[in-house]
Structure 1
Amino acid sequence: MTALSLALLVPWAAGIVLALLDGRRPLVGWLAVGVLATNLGALVALAVPVLPDSSVVVTTGDWPAGIGITLRADALGVLFALLSSLALLAAMLHEVLDGVRERVFPGLVTLLAAGLTGVFLTGDLFNFYVFFELAMTAGYVLATYGGGRRELGAALVFTTVNLLGTFIFLLSVAGVYHVTGTLEMSGIAARMDDVDPNAAVLLAVGFFVAFAVKLGLFPFHFWLPTVYSGARPAVAAILSGGLANIGAYGLLRFGGELLPDELDLAAGALIVVGGASIVYGGILAVSRRSASEMLAYSAIGQVGYVLVAIGVGGPVGFAAAILYTVVNALNKTLLFLTAQMRGAVVGAAFALGALSVAGVPPAGGFVGKLELFRAVADDPALIVLFFLGSALSFVYAFQTYQYDFWRGERRGRRSTIPQQAVVAALALLVLALGVWPEPLLALSHDAAELLAGGGG
C-alpha cells in the first residue's frame, strides 16, 4: 500500500515543483533523475507482493469506493508501469548528460511518469481518463522540445491527431457509463454481458480507434513518422518506449478484461490490421536512409505483431503480446537514444538493439519472436507473415548499421563516456532478457492468465 501510494505521489508532487524550476540547471535535471529512480524503486517494491499472482487495491483518502481514486496493482499494470518508468529514467538520464535545453523538460518528464503510473495502476475508468490526459498533455508539450521548426511541426501533427483519439476515447467512456451505470473496471466487466450487443460493439470500436492512434497502427499511423523522426532522440525514446505503452496496455486491458466477447468477434479484423502494419512498416523502413526515419517506420511494423497476438487471444496470445510489448519498448528506447550518437560502444549497442528488433539470438527480441510463433503455430499464413516481417526487420536494421557504422556516414560529435554507459546498460538489459528470459516469460504468462480469466 505504501509503495503503491509512493509510486504515484512522488512523481506527481515532484513534477509540479520541478516544472517551476529552470530545468536547464544540472541540479534540477539530476533531481528529476532522482525522482524517476524513486518512482522505479517504489514500483519494484510494489511488484514483490503483486507479481506472484496477487493484486493490491486501495481507495485513496479512505473515501468510499467510487468516490475516491481507486488504485489497483496487478501483474499486467505493474509490468507496464515498470517498463514505462525505466524508459523515462533512461531518456531523462541521457538528456541530462547531454545538457537539457529547455527549462520545463525535467518537470514534464516527471509529470508524464505520474500520468503513466496512474494509467497502469488505476482501477476505474474515470481516473484512467484523468491520468491518460495528464500523460498525453505532457507528451504534447514534450514533442515541441528543441523549439526548432521541425519539432514544432511534428508536435502540431502529434497533438492534433491524438486529441481526436482522446475525444473518441472520452465518448466511449461516457458510453460505458451510460450502458453499465458504473466506471469501476471490475463492475464494468461484470455488467457488460447485459449490455445490448450493438452498443457494446460501438464502444469496442471507439476504444480500439483511440488506442490504435496512440500505438500508430496502420492505417492510423500517419502522424507517427513525422513525430518520431522530427523529435529529439530523448523525446522519441520517451514517446515510443513510454507513452506508446498506453495503446498496447489499453487494447489488452479493455479487450481482455472489459470487452472479451467483442474482442473475440473482432479477432479476424485485428489480425488483418496487425498484418498490414507489419508489412507496411517493414517495407517503408527498408526504404529509409536515416536511423530516426527507419526507427519511426519500424515502430509501425513492430506494434503490428502485438495486435496480431491480441487477435489470436487466449493465454498464449495475450502472453506473446505482453512479452513482445516489453521487448519492443526496450528496443525502441535503446535505438532512439543512439540515433545521434557515435562511438564503438554506441555501435555495439545499436547492433544488439537491431538484432533484437529482427529477432536474432541472443537478444531479447528472439524470445519475443518465439512466443509470437508459438501463439500462431496452428496458422501457416501467420507463420509466413511473421517470417516476412522478421526478414524485413533484419534487412532495414542491417542496412542502417552498415551505413552508419561500417561506412562511418553518421555525423555529429562523439558521445561522452557517461552517455555511452546509459545505452550500454540498456543494451545489456536487452541481452539479459534473451539469455535469461524465464522471469519475463513467467510475468507475461501470469498477466495473460489474469486477462484470460477476466475474459471468461
Structure 2
Amino acid sequence: MLSLLLVLPVLGAIALGISPVTLTVRNFRLIALIVVGLTLAWTVVVVQQFDPSQPGLQLTESLPWLDNLGLSYRLSLDGLSLPLIVLNGFLTGVAIFASPSQLIRPRFYFILVLLLNAGVSGAFLADNLLLFFLFYEIELIPLYLLIAIWGGARRNYAATKFLIYTALSGVLLLAGFLGLVWLNGAASFDYNPLLAQALPLTAQVILLSLILVGFGIKIPLVPFHTWLPDAHVEASTPISVLLAGVLLKLGTYGLIRFGVQLFPQAWQILAPVLATWAVVSVLYGSFMAIAQTDMKKMVAYSSIGHMGFILLACAAATPLALLAAILQMVSHGLISALLFLLVGVIYEKTGSRDLTKLRGLLNPERGLPLIGSLMVVGVMASGGIPGLVGFVAEFLIFRSSFPIFPLQTLFCMVGTGLTAVYFLLLVNRSFFGRLPPELAQLPAVDWGDRIPAMILATLILILGLQPNLLIRWSQQTVTLLSAATHVAPAIPVALFW
C-alpha cells in the first residue's frame, strides 16, 4: 500500500520519458497532473486505512534487500509522517499546475518534479536508517537540477551552494547513523526507538549532535542558513513552493523521528541549547526579513524564522509541543507556498520584486486586486492572526514551550511581532499608494494563476477554524514520541528580577 506512493510518481516519470516528442508543454503538464492526482487519490486510500487511535507505526512493509549492509526495504506510517505525505502530494500538484506554459525541456522538468515527489515520500516513510539516508540524498539530485536548469541568472551558484550544504548534511547524518548502529553492535539499520538508549550518555550526546547539525543545515537554522535565500531567489516559483513547503520539512521531521525518539536522554541535556538556538534563528530570520527589499528574499528569510518555532517546540518535547510542531510544519508549508506563488505572479505581471519600485498594486481597476487580497490573507496567517492556521500552530507552540523555556519562548514571541512588521512593510509598500505610470497597464491574471492560490488560502482558513481536522491524526503518535523524554522546566523568569 505504501510502496504505491513511490511507484506511481516513478511510473509517471517513465511514462513522460517515453512519450512522443511532439507533445507540448501543456500535454506534459497534463500527464504529470494525472500522475499526481492518482498519487493523491491513493493517499486518500492510505489515510482511510490509517487508525489514528494507534500510536505506533502502521501499514508496515518489509522486504530483505542488502542484509550484509543492514539495509532492508521497510516502509511504515504514523501520525508524524501522515500529514507530511499528504502535504507533499498536494503541493507537488500545486507546483505542477503553477508551472509556466513556456518551458525549455518540459519533459525533463516534469520528470524531475515527479522523482522529487517520490524521493521525499520515501524519506517520510522509511523505517530503516540507511533507507532514509538514501531517499534523503536522492531527492537533492532532482532539486539541484531544477534550480540549475530552470533558475534565474545566478542559478548555477545557488544550485551548487545548495548541493554542497545538503551533501554536508547527509555526511553528518550518515556518520551519526553509522555510529549508532556500530556502537550498539546491531546487525541492521532498521528503525528501533530503543537503539540508542543502551549507549553511554556521552556517546548519545555526540551522536545526537551530529544528527542535529545535519538536520539543522536542512531546516535551515542559523548559521547554516545561507544557502536558502540564494536557492529561493534563483529558483522558479513552483520550485520555491516545493522547497519551502515540503523540502525543509525533512529537517524538522528528522529532528523528531531521529532526535527526540531515538535519543530521549541526550535530548534532555541538549534541550536548553536547542531552545536558545531557536531564538537565534527566529530573531535573525525576522531582522533579516525586515532589511530586504526583494519580496522573494523577504519571504525566504521569514521561513528561517518560522522554522525556528518548530525547533522551540521540539526542544520542549511534550506531547502538546510535538503536536504543535507537526501543525506548524503543515501551516508553514501552506502559507509559504501561498506567499511564493503570489510573489511569482507579481513578478510575472510587473517584471519586478523590488519593494522600492512597486506600489499601488491593490488598485481595483488597473492593479492586481485579487492577488493583493490573497497576499493580505497570507501575511495575516504568517503573522498569527486568529482564525487562520498560523495562529493555532504558533499559539500551541508558545503555550507548550513557556512552562519549560519561559525566557526563550518570550523572545520567540517577539519574533512573531517582527513577522507583522516585515510583512506590513511588504504589503504597505507594494500594494498601497498610487500606481506608478509604468505599471498602469498590467496584464490580466488568468485562472491558472488564481486557482492554486485560492485553494491554498481556503485551506489556511479551514484549518485555522477547524484545526482538529489535522490534529486528530497525530495526537496518539506524539504521546508515544515524547514518552521517554522529560525535559526539566527552566528556572522561572520571576527569579531573575
Q: Distance in 1 between matches of 2:34 and 2:334?
A: 21
1:14 paired residue among 12, 15, 36: 12
> SS at the partner of 1:258?
coil
Is 2:59 the partner of 1:56?
yes
1:404 paired residue among 430, 444, 455: 430
2:467 paired residue among 437, 443, 455: 437
Shift of residue 107, structure 1, vs aligned partner: 0.6
Percent identity over paired residues:
27
Summarize the Cα distance change of 1:41–1:454 in structure 2 as closer, same or farther, 3 Å threshold.
Answer: farther
> SS at the partner of 2:217?
helix
Match of 1:381 in 2: 407
Shift of residue 423, structure 1, vs aligned partner: 0.6
Summarize the Cα distance change of 1:377–1:138 in structure 2 as closer, same or farther, 3 Å threshold.
Answer: same
Shift of residue 147, structure 1, vs aligned partner: 5.0
Is 2:420 the partner of 1:390?
no
Q: How many residues align?
A: 452
Summarize the Cα distance change of 1:20–1:164 in structure 2 as closer, same or farther, 3 Å threshold.
Answer: farther
Counterpart residue identity of residue 433, structure 1 = L
Is 2:353 the partner of 1:355?
no
Instruction: Tell me if structure 2 keeps the 8 A contact 1:274–1:305.
Output: yes
Match of 2:250 in 1: 246
Match of 2:271 in 1: 267
- Superposition CA RMSD, Å: 2.3
More deviation, 128-137/15-24? 15-24
> SS at the partner of 1:371?
helix
Q: Distance in 2 between matches of 1:120 and 1:238?
A: 15
TM-score in terms of structure 1 length? 0.93
Shift of residue 306, structure 1, vs aligned partner: 0.4
Shift of residue 173, structure 1, vs aligned partner: 2.1
Instruction: Tell me if structure 1 keeps the 8 A contact 2:6–2:121.
Output: yes
Instruction: Tell me if structure 2 keeps the 8 A contact 1:363–1:430.
Output: yes
Q: Distance in 1 between matches of 2:116 and 2:220?
A: 19
More deviation, 422-431/156-165? 156-165
2:168 paired residue among 148, 160, 164: 164
Counterpart residue identity of residue 465, structure 2 = V
Structure number with larger C-alpha Rg: 2
2:238 paired residue among 234, 237, 243: 234
Summarize the Cα distance change of 1:290–1:19 in structure 2 as closer, same or farther, 3 Å threshold.
Answer: farther
Match of 2:38 in 1: 38
Match of 1:5 in 2: 3
Shift of residue 239, structure 1, vs aligned partner: 0.8
Match of 1:449 in 2: 479
Summarize the Cα distance change of 1:392–1:12 in structure 2 as closer, same or farther, 3 Å threshold.
Answer: same
Matches within 5 A, 1:77-116: 77-95=81-99, 98-103=101-106, 104-116=108-120
Matches within 5 A, 1:266-305: 266-305=270-309
Shift of residue 44, structure 1, vs aligned partner: 2.1
> SS at the partner of 2:386?
coil
More deviation, 200-209/294-303? 200-209
Shift of residue 347, structure 1, vs aligned partner: 1.6
Counterpart residue identity of residue 297, structure 1 = Y
* Cα deviations by residue, 1:154-177 (Å, 9 ceiling, x for unpaired): 111111211111122222222122
Match of 2:353 in 1: none
Match of 2:455 in 1: 425
Mind listing any 5+ residue stretches in structure 1 that lack a counterpart?
Answer: none
Summarize the Cα distance change of 1:201–1:158 in structure 2 as closer, same or farther, 3 Å threshold.
Answer: same
Counterpart residue identity of residue 13, structure 1 = L
* Cα deviations by residue, 1:177-210 (Å, 9 ceiling, x for unpaired): 21222444443x2232222322222211111111
Summarize the Cα distance change of 1:282–1:37 in structure 2 as closer, same or farther, 3 Å threshold.
Answer: same
Q: Distance in 2 between matches of 1:15 and 1:321?
A: 33
Instruction: Tell me if structure 1 keeps the 8 A contact 2:79–2:476.
Output: yes
More deviation, 14-23/167-176? 14-23
Shift of residue 145, structure 1, vs aligned partner: 3.7
> SS at the partner of 1:69?
strand
Counterpart residue identity of residue 25, structure 1 = V
Q: Distance in 2 between matches of 1:340 and 1:210?
A: 30
More deviation, 283-292/371-380? 371-380
Mind listing any 5+ residue stretches in structure 2 that lack a counterpart?
Answer: 347-367, 487-497
Q: Distance in 1 between matches of 2:423 and 2:188?
A: 44
Match of 2:136 in 1: 132
Q: Distance in 2 between matches of 1:380 and 1:200?
A: 27
More deviation, 85-94/400-409? 400-409
Match of 2:337 in 1: 333
More helix by share: 1
TM-score in terms of structure 2 length? 0.85
Q: Distance in 1 between matches of 2:65 and 2:297?
A: 49
More deviation, 429-438/378-387? 378-387
Q: Distance in 1 between matches of 2:43 and 2:8?
A: 11
* Cα deviations by residue, 1:407-443 (Å, 9 ceiling, x for unpaired): 4579774431222111111111111111111222223
Q: Distance in 2 between matches of 1:337 and 1:20?
A: 31
